[in-house]
Amino acid sequence: MTEVVQTPMAEPTKAGWFGDFGGRFAPEPLMPACLELEEAFRDAWADPVFHAEFEEVLHSFGGRPTPITHCKRLSEDLGITLLLKREDLAHTGSHKINNVIGQALLTKRMGKSKMIAETGAGQHGVASATAAALLGLECTVYMGEVDTQRQALNVFRMELLGATVHPVTSGSRTLKDAVNEAMRTWVSHVADTHYCLGSVMGPHPFPWMVREFQSILGTEAREQSQSMLDDVPDFVVACVGGGSNAAGMFSGFANSRSKLIGVEALGGAAIASGIPGVLHGMMSQILQDEEGQILEAHSISAGLDYPGIGPEHAHLASIGRAIYSTADDDEVLDALERLSNTEGIIPALEPSHALAWIIREAGRQIPKGSTVLLNMSGRGDKDVAQVREILQAKGRFQ
Amino acid sequence: MSRPRLEVRLRERVAAKQKLLIPYVMAGQSEDWLETVQAIADAGADAIEIGLPFSDPIMDGPVIQEAAVVSLERGTTPQSVLNDLGRLELDTPLVVMTYFNLVYRAGLDRFAGRLQEVGVTGCIIPDLSLEEFGAWEKAAERVGIDPVLLVAPSTSTERAKAICERSRGFLYAVGRMGVTGERDDASLEVDAVVAKVRPFTTLPVCVGVGVSTPEQAAAVVRVADGAIVGSALVRRLLEGGGPEGAATFIGELRSALDGVTLDG
């Protein structure tokens, strides 16, 4: 099953393996679609015209390049130099736009007229609906019923953008089940429909393709940090659910001396608490019981509530090229509040995990004086109602 | 206990001009599920698929998903199912159908060994693609388990050939693009998918996914060797049909298939 690979973050093997992780564990009706997609992606990604269009759309529509912000006050408090890659300033408020523009362009290139997508908190769903509106594709988003209630405004955003939101009532009615339902739907509609998966997960070529589409942010960040620091940062830190923002970021620094740190939610820590297994078409680290039934992830952040992790992250952890840690809900809230009131940036709960790790480890695992680049993968607007409720319950705000 | 080898038995039946009926039940779905297995064997099943419930069954529609939830809530585990099956006395081949993570978690050789110990002679793992099939193929072969592979309407001719060469027991032809579940329309793509595989295999070709009624089963076996009926049976069991209800339905399917044989 394994072949020895690979420069870190190079192409996976022909069968889609990153070391011992990845592969293509899809039911036969979907296999031809996976093969077709791989061929279409290889062809597009080798075509300068496709690249030019991808970059042009992300520039004129998506708001790229996003800046890097030096957090001066927080840096001084922590005794480090903290830089934020501002994906929160990209269109739709997160890095998700990079991947969906790539996949929507690919959908058209494959001659398909429809996209389906899964979403947890709604960021990928909103981004997919946006890309579909831009390119004139029909879009259906699968979202766990629990999440449609928690993120009612995002449901409305998707509908306003012309997408259909399909509440998923099976299983735990959250992200994991939304992926299941999207895959089931894809089986029935594969002829005219592309499955726009939102993270570096699923059967090959998704983990690789999504990383490639997200690598635009890592490439930018490498150039920007080089010109700001005249060097690469000592640490590159990103939150990890499925792991698409981290994969995009790490890909810009994998061949450098930068230490790569992925931060998972404590209640969804596939690297720390998972074991190898197969879910959603991939071999990876998966939260599961002793029989192999998949367990639920639980954290404050719907975007990180996933019981698996992209296979390339499992590989990077196994070879020690990236280190994966966790942050708990309380540290995450503290980090969100601290960045808001020291730097004027309200982060999403997801990257607040990465920030929480930096705050906790500054002066410990992060030596004083280090340069640290954090991928600020999304803005906090979607989370403020939830955060307000929690902080009010703690007696913090009126 | 020892039961007939899946492929051997099915080939014998096909040679005797019998159309094959392969019902599916979800293991552990109710207290009397073993009696149900016995009843459908007695009612004329040629082999029986035993579903091991998995938390995330991506190839299954709502009925089998619900049965899996019910079964898991009753505390069913792969271990408990296999223990139960070991106690069953019947002369019908059993085929376990489950998802790869349960097999991988147990260990491929250990899982295959357990199947063999309790007299299961075939296994279907729908999310194990041809590309990743090699390790399981060897583990199954070592203990005489027939690993069954799927062919779909979307499968290319070249892939179909490779799948035919490595499937054992029978060939599972997916009758339409979609997950398991009852369909009331007749939009099965059976003719095309069966025609695609016939040149490459002498294995019995059985059609599943969307085969719900005696009429559909009869239509399917005009081109295929057998019909696999899952959701339509599982729904009756979820509605409380019990072993008698299951036996009645299997009897109807059996008569429909035998009618085709006589016509033939």
Domain layout of chain B by residue ranges? 6-147+222-256
Helix (H, G, I), strand (E, B) or coil at A141: strand
Both tokens of B149, joined, read 């592979």
Look at strands A275-279 and A282-286 and give their pairing.
Answer: antiparallel
Residue A377 has pLDDT above 70, yes or no: yes
Looking at beta carbons, which residues of chain A come within 8 Å of B105? 277, 288, 290-292
For residues A242, A245, A250 and A253, what is the CA-based torsion angle, rounded to 10 degrees? 180
Nearest chain B Cα distance for residue A162, angstroms: 26
Question: Does the beta-carbon distance from B105 to A281 stay under 8 Å?
Answer: no
Looking at beta carbons, which residues of chain A come within 8 Å of B55? 171, 293-294
The arithmetic mean of pLDDT across residues A296-301, rounded, is 88
Which pLDDT band, with edges at 50, 70 and 90, does B263 fall under? low
Question: Does the beta-carbon distance from A25 to B65 stay under 8 Å?
Answer: no
User: Exposed (0-12), middle (13-18) or buried (19+): which is A227, by Cβ within 10 Å?
Assistant: exposed
Residue A3 has pLDDT above 60, yes or no: no
Looking at beta carbons, which residues of chain A come within 8 Å of B72? 293
The pLDDT score that the predictor gives to residue A5 is 45
Residue (of A332, A361, A362) closest to A349 by Cα position: A332
Residue A58 corresponds to which amino acid?
L
Residue written as token pair 């995009």? A248
Residue B99 and residue B127 in contact, taking contact as beta carbons nearer than 8 Å: yes
Residue A305 has pLDDT above 90, yes or no: no
Catalytic residue among A95, A194, A204, A353: A95
Comparing alpha-carbon positions, the chain B residue that sits nearest to A289 is: B105
Residue B203 and residue B171 in contact, taking contact as beta carbons nearer than 8 Å: yes
Comparing A215-219, A300-304, A341-345, B205-209, the range with the smallest average pLDDT is A300-304
SS (H, E, C) B43-111: CCCCCEEEECCCCCCCCECHHHHHHHHHHHHCCCCHHHHHHHHHCCCCCCCEEEECCHHHHHHHCHHHH
Residue (of B13, B18, B58, B146) closest to A27 by Cα position: B58
The pLDDT score that the predictor gives to residue B14 is 97
The arithmetic mean of pLDDT across residues A238-249, rounded, is 97
Span B61-104, pLDDT tens digits: 999 999 999 999 999 999 999 999 999 989 999 999 999 999 99
Residue A283 and residue A25 in contact, taking contact as beta carbons nearer than 8 Å: yes
Give the distance, in angstroms, between the CA of residue A205 and the centroid of all CA atoms in the same chain. 16
Q: Using a pLDDT cut of 70, give the percent of chain B over it.
A: 97
pTM: 0.96
Instruction: Name the DSSP letter for residue B186.
Output: -
Both tokens of A63, joined, read 């708001």
Which pLDDT band, with edges at 50, 70 and 90, does A396 fall under? confident
A296 at interface of B, judged by CB pairs closer than 8 A = no
Comparing alpha-carbon positions, the chain A residue that sits nearest to B59 is: A184
Contacts of B158 (CB under 8 A, 6+ apart): none
In sign, the C-alpha dihedral spanning B134, B135, B138, B141 is negative
Instruction: Name the DSSP letter for residue A62.
Output: T
Span B170-229, pLDDT tens digits: 999 999 888 888 876 655 689 999 999 999 999 999 999 989 999 999 999 999 999 999
Measuring CA to CA, how many Å separate A87 from each of A62, A98, A164, A217, A353? 10, 10, 26, 8, 15
Helix (H, G, I), strand (E, B) or coil at A233: coil
User: How far apart (Å, rounded) are the C-alpha atoms in residues B231 and A133?
Assistant: 37
Contacts of B101 (CB under 8 A, 6+ apart): A277, A278, A279, A286, A288, A292, A294, B54
Of B78, B79, B155, the CB nearest to A28: B155
Both tokens of A264, joined, read 């998972």
User: How far apart (Å, rounded) are the C-alpha atoms in residues B261 and B19?
Assistant: 7
Comparing alpha-carbon positions, the chain B residue that sits nearest to A1 is: B132
Is A71 annotated as catalytic? yes
Backbone φ and ψ of A161, nearest 5°:
-80, 0
Which ranges of chain A does DSSP label H, i.e. alpha helix? 31-45, 48-60, 72-78, 96-109, 123-135, 145-150, 152-160, 175-189, 206-229, 244-251, 270-273, 311-319, 329-343, 349-361, 384-393
Residue B174 corresponds to which amino acid?
V
Interface probe for B, chosen from A168, A291, A295 (most Cβ of B below 10 Å), is A291
Which residues, numbered 189 to 208 in chain A, qualify as contacts with chain B under a Cβ-Cβ cut-off of 8 Å? Answer: 189-191, 203
Residue written as token pair 């997408």? A163
Residue A338 has pLDDT above 60, yes or no: yes
Helix (H, G, I), strand (E, B) or coil at B126: coil
User: How far apart (Å, rounded) are the C-alpha atoms in residues A309 and A286?
Assistant: 7
Comparing A374-378, A390-394, B12-16, B182-186, the range with the smallest average pLDDT is B182-186
Residue (of B4, B153, B106, B201) closest to A289 by Cα position: B106
Looking at beta carbons, which residues of chain B come within 8 Å of A30? 154
Helix (H, G, I), strand (E, B) or coil at B228: strand
Residue A376 and residue A347 in contact, taking contact as beta carbons nearer than 8 Å: yes
Comparing A382-396, B13-27, B65-79, B95-109, the range with the smallest average pLDDT is A382-396
User: How far apart (Å, rounded) are the C-alpha atoms in residues B106 and B114?
Assistant: 10
Of A25, A288, A290, the CB nearest to B100: A25
Question: Does the beta-carbon distance from A29 to B153 stay under 8 Å?
Answer: yes
Both tokens of B239, joined, read 């509605």
CATH number of A17-57+96-206: 3.40.50.1100
The second-level CATH assignment, the architecture, of A65-94+215-393 is 3-Layer(aba) Sandwich (3.40)
Tell me, what's the ipTM?
Answer: 0.95
Higher pLDDT, A151 or A357: A357
Comparing alpha-carbon positions, the chain B residue that sits nearest to A33 is: B154
Catalytic residue among B7, B46, B60, B182: B60
Which pLDDT band, with edges at 50, 70 and 90, does B1 fall under? low
For residue B161, the surrounding DSSP H or E stretch is: helix B157-166
The arithmetic mean of pLDDT across residues A238-244, rounded, is 97
Of B69, B101, B126, the CB nearest to A277: B101
Domain layout of chain A by residue ranges? 17-57+96-206, 65-94+215-393
Interface probe for A, chosen from B52, B54, B55 (most Cβ of A below 10 Å), is B55
Residue A370 and residue A235 in contact, taking contact as beta carbons nearer than 8 Å: yes
Residue A2 has pLDDT above 50, yes or no: no
Measuring CA to CA, how many Å separate B152 from each of A203, A282, B52, B90, B129? 18, 20, 22, 32, 12
Which pLDDT band, with edges at 50, 70 and 90, does A4 fall under? very low
User: How far apart (Å, rounded) are the C-alpha atoms in residues A224 and A219?
Assistant: 9
Question: Does the beta-carbon distance from A292 to B152 stay under 8 Å?
Answer: no
**Nearest-10 crossing angle of helices B33-42, B78-86:** 50
Which residues, numbered 153 to 172 in chain A, qualify as contacts with chain B under a Cβ-Cβ cut-off of 8 Å? Answer: 170-171
User: How far apart (Å, rounded) are the C-alpha atoms in residues B202 and B200?
Assistant: 7
Sheet holding A193-195, edge to edge: A164-168, A138-144, A114-119, A193-195
Looking at beta carbons, which residues of chain A come within 8 Å of B100? 25, 278
> Regarding the domain with residue range B6-147+222-256, which homologous superfamily does it belong to in the CATH classification?
Aldolase class I (3.20.20.70)
Helix (H, G, I), strand (E, B) or coil at A11: coil
Residue B102 and residue B52 in contact, taking contact as beta carbons nearer than 8 Å: yes
Residue B102 and residue B69 in contact, taking contact as beta carbons nearer than 8 Å: no
User: How far apart (Å, rounded) are the C-alpha atoms in residues A136 and A134?
Assistant: 6
Looking at beta carbons, which residues of chain A come within 8 Å of B62? 170
Question: Does the beta-carbon distance from B61 to A25 stay under 8 Å?
Answer: no
Residue A88 and residue A347 in contact, taking contact as beta carbons nearer than 8 Å: yes
The arithmetic mean of pLDDT across residues A26-31, rounded, is 95
Catalytic residue among B7, B46, B49, B137: B49
User: How far apart (Å, rounded) are the C-alpha atoms in residues B124 and B129?
Assistant: 11
User: How far apart (Å, rounded) are the C-alpha atoms in residues A80 and A230?
Assistant: 16
Counts for chain A of helices (H) and strands (E), in that order: 15, 14
